[in-house]
Structure 1
Amino acid sequence: MCGVRGSSVGIDLGTSYSCVGVWQNDQVEIIANEQGNRTTPSFIAFTESEILIGNTAKNQYLVDPANTVFNVKRMIGRKFNDSIVQANIKHWPFKVTSTKDNKPQINVEFRGKTKTFQPEEISALVLIKMKEIAQAYLGTEVQNAVITVPAHFNNWQRQATKDAGTIAGLNVLRILSEPTAAGMAFCHQNHNHKYTTRNVLVFDLGGGTIDVSIVSNGCGIVEVLATAGSMNLGGEDFDNCLVDYFIAEFKRKYGKDLTNCQRALRRLRTASERAKRTLSLMSEAYIEIENLYDGVDFTSIITRARFEALCEDYFRKAMELVEKVLFDSKLTKGEVDEIVLVGGSSHIPKVQQLLSNFFDGKDLNKSINPDEAVAFGATIQAALLTQNESPENLQDIVLLDTTPNSLGYQNASGVKSTIVHHNTTLLTRAIARNNQSDGLIQIFENLENSSIGTISLEKTDDNDIAFDLDLNGFLNVFTINKLTGEETKLNITFEKGRLSNNDIKNLTERLARYLTKDEAYKHPIEANSKLKSITDKKKLQGKTITIGITNFTHVIKWFKQQKENFLKLSKTIAKLLPTPPHKRPSALFLHLVLPKSSWIDHID
């Protein structure tokens, strides 16, 4: 893609963890965060002074779960009354309410005030973190990104994810399906077979979603034959099974119901996630939580067999998706050459056993890192789109992705017609005859449920309707004059809830203000704490100094009114402390609260 400026990255925007990579030195580099980890929790926490993202936010979950947001991928692009959103709300410690357009919004306490955030904003904050990780590694600004989504994401969810990228300050080059990205990663790393066609089943079981795709790779062409998935099947659901099991055990043993205690639930969830990971390596896991609820120390042992029984329904649903994608691809089991595991939950032994058994004992391919494969493929796609001359070992790669959902319309008579069938190759055009009177027609994705919007048509026998799908899976609608071939693009009036360009601009500016304000806002908070430490705890000249914190509140107020007199005020504070001049903390205080003179301007 000529003309693209700035560095480009590939980002796996995951439900539980996210990952970022860059093409450098003729290869993909997956970038570690500041803790040295190559994946970063998709967690956002809101505190009195700042927004935390990633590892620090996940740590904050133990302290303040109501203001720690995660799993936003399960609500982005959905309606508030969507069954998946409603099913997950009961597991989320943070508050989710509905907008006037029936869209979910997250409610948190931030800097002492109740704030609401759109799902796109939360995803944007995760993307900002991934961008910062890449910029720290590259030493230059990152402007462009390929962002991955579950293959079964519909038009609304893909657009919402792209909007999140825009809010994060990224030029979104492509919205790429996760199993497609993983398939690209596998095919790139196994290029020895590029002159023979091989059918690869990509089984992507992550923290919140599952995608199963069959990818055909040969002669440099990576073609998705079929895909299937579920938005409500992943590691988080396995965690929920364990949490429910331990809640029932606690009640059975002690006769106490801890479901209304958020502190107990968050500690139990953390222990359950740890136990799940242990059971992928060992036959049993032991949990011990001191003073879990009402003074009770809770201990328990769970075996791998019990865990597998608890999650049996989810495992069965996963295998049903494998059957479906095999049927849609019109391949037999024997025609699948490789089975590639992707996603953290693909580590679970039972999942691997079921997959192998389904394919009559076939060995599973574990040659790629399941936690990094999606970001790896997204990085390859970013390199292909942004290099003026593609790297030598990428020149032969051509990607042919598919749409997981059908598209069609309902005419004025109420008759629905499918125009684009699911698993149709992207960058395609489907033609329909215009045989209705003047008026509006409604466009549907998966005809039975998801309305995209409406278009206005004029009756004429000379025009046909064209549905165009671009490489992101987004729909454009045209009329085509059958006599002249002239095309006219029709405006789609989208259903309420989609962000407008003005909404995106406002949300971008709001997040920028919050994040810019973070550093300045922390200084008075830290100074408040430091002054309290100096005046309430230290003994100077053998006497305990007891200046109330109310004094500092007045100090802050006075800063707002007369910041030019700050030096005079610091001397006033110093006089309140019976300390020798050379030991007075005013210099330290000045250093702490005024590293930049602008912080006073940012106090709410």
Structure 2
Amino acid sequence: MVNYFGLYVGNSTASIALFKEDGKVEILANEAGERVTAAVVTVNSDEKVVGSTAGATSYSLASCAVKYNKRLLDVTISDESMKTWISESLVKIDGETLNSLTYSVSVEDSKKPLSCSTTQIASLIFKKLYGIGVGGAPGQDSFSCVIAVPTHWDDKSRQIVADAATQAGWEVMQVINEPAAALLAYQIGFEKPPVDQIALVYRLGGVSCDATVVSIENGFQTIVSHVRDDSLGGKDIISVVTEHLCDEFKRKYYLDPRESRKAMWKLKIAAMGIIHTLSTISTSSRFIESVCDGVDFNPTISQARFEALLSPLIPKFTAPIHQALIEAGVEKNQISKVVLCGGVLKVPKMRSVVSSMFDCEICSGLNPDEVLACGAAQQAGLLAGHSDGLGITEASRELPLLETPVHVQVNDQEVVMGPGVMPISHFMNLSVEEPKVEISAKQEQPSDSFIGQGVIECSEAGDLEIHIRLTVDNELVAEAVNTETKELQKVTFALQPVC
């Protein structure tokens, strides 16, 4: 049995999904039983540990725990953004350009600091996911995957990620856009018969937020607008809750934790735990040992209080949605499905706010921080069964367009196919009194005319489901399924030019 994988490595977390031969997708847990692994690499003289909870939460390890590495893999970022992100890193970063950036970690046992490039850190995270994949598919020789990355990344950035995964042992089948992965996770665009629709993908992650309007016609996705804000994310919620804990501690004990970096670190870690807990229950308490001058703190925050703290941020978080709709020229009532992804959308208030903006289906059945890995795994399964030669990092390609409609006559009914991207499909129901379906097609163009015809021979009369498909090879394929016997018959003929 051969399994295929979908990978998502974000700034805060990483996840891996397995596509099985039966078509089902399963999220794989790490050795600690966690379905989502922290995208943190703790570097010391002995080893480099990926996903360590200690590395993510320990104050003493903060200077050697690399976080938010993904944003430095994007070669399209501005110098200003790069300098801002470097200044925010608790691990020293050397280098003047993106290509030369290296993390410099001082270790006690060595006079010379340890150095790791951004690509090496990414490869270590992919290696961690590779180990999880090996555990989830024992006995498999090769491990093929699809990786989901931000929409705005260019081919060079995508190649960097693909190379990092390859160094970790993965065979990269394709690198796809995150919005495409989100839609694939919920099988949007795979409806039968095909449904033309407009979907919105909203992602709210740890350090960034984006909204994408996608048009789906005949199963093909077209990004109509994409709005991204790299200054918004879950970090803002953590900051608000941390400030609230500071104020509460100062009010109760007349000590200001803002005067101590270590105290602020402890309160920040407590804030993260409180937010996580409030995603599932209505009240959260945290015991924080020795915040200031040996004073312990045991704060409790209710869901109502948390939502009050969150309220000032909501207009900022929803701004990309409004802007994406404006740029797409789309009204809210034209959106047929909204897909939510990103760990912050586990917060009930955020899901509620986004849901209240639209009168349509809100796709939130999957864990928000597992959606992109699931979608990437779905794409891996599709590529395994239908390889179309699309390059690994190729984000888009020119597709054949049918500009002049084709008129198809099915017995006494007429169907107009196109204009649109080929192949084009059409479904219809038909009752026949004779066991056959006569089909003819005609296309009038300014310089030429094309015609074709064929007959589907059925074993008996009755109710039929007709599926007509116009291929890129200028062929018309028609299938008829008897609704009672489920018998399938089909005919294929070419549209020939009229001499």
- Scaled by the length of structure 2, what TM-score is found? 0.68
Q: Tell me how far apart the structure 1 counterparts of residues 94 and 296 of structure 2 sit (CA, whole Å).
A: 38
Match of 2:407 in 1: none
Q: Tell me how far apart the structure 2 counterparts of residues 313 and 162 of structure 1 sit (CA, whole Å).
A: 39
Q: Tell me how far apart the structure 1 counterparts of residues 221 and 309 of structure 2 sit (CA, whole Å).
A: 37
Which amino acid in 2 is paired with 1:240?
Answer: S
Distance change in 2, residues 1:91/1:284 (3 Å): farther
Distance change in 2, residues 1:315/1:163 (3 Å): farther
Distance change in 2, residues 1:369/1:138 (3 Å): same
Find the residue that maps to 1:176 and give its secondary structure. strand
Match of 1:367 in 2: 365
- Cα contact 1:9–1:146 (8 A) shared by 2: yes
Which amino acid in 1 is paired with 2:164?
Answer: A
In the TM superposition, residue 334 of structure 1 has moved relative to its aligned partner by 1.3
Does 2:27 align with 1:30?
yes
Find the residue that maps to 1:331 and give its secondary structure. coil
Q: Tell me how far apart the structure 2 counterparts of residues 322 and 331 of structure 1 sit (CA, whole Å).
A: 11
Which amino acid in 1 is paired with 2:344?
Answer: S
Match of 1:132 in 2: 131
Q: Tell me how far apart the structure 1 counterparts of residues 234 and 304 of structure 2 sit (CA, whole Å).
A: 17
In the TM superposition, residue 54 of structure 1 has moved relative to its aligned partner by 1.6
Q: Tell me how far apart the structure 2 counterparts of residues 79 and 192 of structure 1 sit (CA, whole Å).
A: 36
Which amino acid in 2 is paired with 1:367?
Answer: G
In the TM superposition, residue 25 of structure 1 has moved relative to its aligned partner by 1.9
Match of 1:349 in 2: 348
Which amino acid in 2 is paired with 1:331?
Answer: V
In the TM superposition, residue 239 of structure 1 has moved relative to its aligned partner by 1.3
Say which is worse superposed, 152-161 or 121-130, in terms of deviation.
152-161
Which amino acid in 2 is paired with 1:164?
Answer: A
Find the residue that maps to 2:369 and give its secondary structure. coil
Equivalence map 1:340-489=2 (5 Å): 340-359=339-358, 362=360, 364-385=362-383, 387=384, 389-390=385-386, 426-428=396-398
In the TM superposition, residue 126 of structure 1 has moved relative to its aligned partner by 0.6
Match of 1:224 in 2: 223
Which amino acid in 2 is paired with 1:46?
Answer: V
Cα deviation, 1:444-468, whole Å, max 9, x if unaligned, reads xxxxxxxxxxxxxxxxxxxxxxxxx
- Cα contact 1:148–1:175 (8 A) shared by 2: yes
In the TM superposition, residue 106 of structure 1 has moved relative to its aligned partner by 2.0
- Cα contact 2:209–2:230 (8 A) shared by 1: yes
Out of 43, 47, 60, the position equivalent to 1:46 is 43
Q: Count residues with an aligned counterpart.
A: 391
Cα deviation, 1:202-222, whole Å, max 9, x if unaligned, reads 222222322322233454334
Q: Tell me how far apart the structure 2 counterparts of residues 36 and 227 of structure 1 sit (CA, whole Å).
A: 35
Q: Tell me how far apart the structure 1 counterparts of residues 216 and 366 of structure 2 sit (CA, whole Å).
A: 16
Match of 2:462 in 1: none
In the TM superposition, residue 321 of structure 1 has moved relative to its aligned partner by 1.0
Which amino acid in 2 is paired with 1:151?
Answer: T
- Cα contact 1:9–1:142 (8 A) shared by 2: no
Match of 1:184 in 2: 184
In the TM superposition, residue 332 of structure 1 has moved relative to its aligned partner by 1.8
- Cα contact 2:286–2:300 (8 A) shared by 1: yes
- Cα contact 2:42–2:52 (8 A) shared by 1: no
In the TM superposition, residue 289 of structure 1 has moved relative to its aligned partner by 0.8
Match of 1:69 in 2: 66
Match of 1:174 in 2: 174
Match of 1:278 in 2: 277
Find the residue that maps to 1:372 and give its secondary structure. helix
- Cα contact 1:152–1:228 (8 A) shared by 2: no
Which amino acid in 1 is paired with 2:372?
Answer: V
Distance change in 2, residues 1:380/1:81 (3 Å): closer
Cα deviation, 1:227-267, whole Å, max 9, x if unaligned, reads 22222322233112222333344445545444464543332
In the TM superposition, residue 374 of structure 1 has moved relative to its aligned partner by 0.7
Q: Tell me how far apart the structure 1 counterparts of residues 74 and 330 of structure 2 sit (CA, whole Å).
A: 33
Match of 2:9 in 1: 13
- Cα contact 1:194–1:218 (8 A) shared by 2: no
In the TM superposition, residue 371 of structure 1 has moved relative to its aligned partner by 2.6
- Cα contact 1:43–1:68 (8 A) shared by 2: yes
Q: Tell me how far apart the structure 2 counterparts of residues 268 and 26 of structure 1 sit (CA, whole Å).
A: 46
Equivalence map 1:137-148=2 (5 Å): 137-139=136-138, 140-148=140-148
Which amino acid in 2 is paired with 1:120?
Answer: T
Unaligned runs of 5+ in 2: 400-499
Find the residue that maps to 1:202 and give its secondary structure. strand
Out of 89, 95, 101, the position equivalent to 2:97 is 101
Q: Tell me how far apart the structure 1 counterparts of residues 84 and 310 of structure 2 sit (CA, whole Å).
A: 17
Which amino acid in 2 is paired with 1:65?
Answer: A
Distance change in 2, residues 1:251/1:119 (3 Å): farther
- Cα contact 2:3–2:19 (8 A) shared by 1: no
Q: Tell me how far apart the structure 1 counterparts of residues 323 and 101 of structure 2 sit (CA, whole Å).
A: 31
% same residue? 28
Which amino acid in 2 is paired with 1:99?
Answer: G
Find the residue that maps to 1:426 and give its secondary structure. coil
- Cα contact 1:194–1:219 (8 A) shared by 2: no
Distance change in 2, residues 1:46/1:338 (3 Å): same
- Cα contact 1:340–1:366 (8 A) shared by 2: yes
Which amino acid in 1 is paired with 2:102?
Answer: Q
In the TM superposition, residue 280 of structure 1 has moved relative to its aligned partner by 3.0
Q: Tell me how far apart the structure 1 counterparts of residues 310 and 389 of structure 2 sit (CA, whole Å).
A: 39
RMSD: 3.4
- Cα contact 1:194–1:217 (8 A) shared by 2: no
- Cα contact 1:283–1:304 (8 A) shared by 2: yes
Distance change in 2, residues 1:281/1:110 (3 Å): same
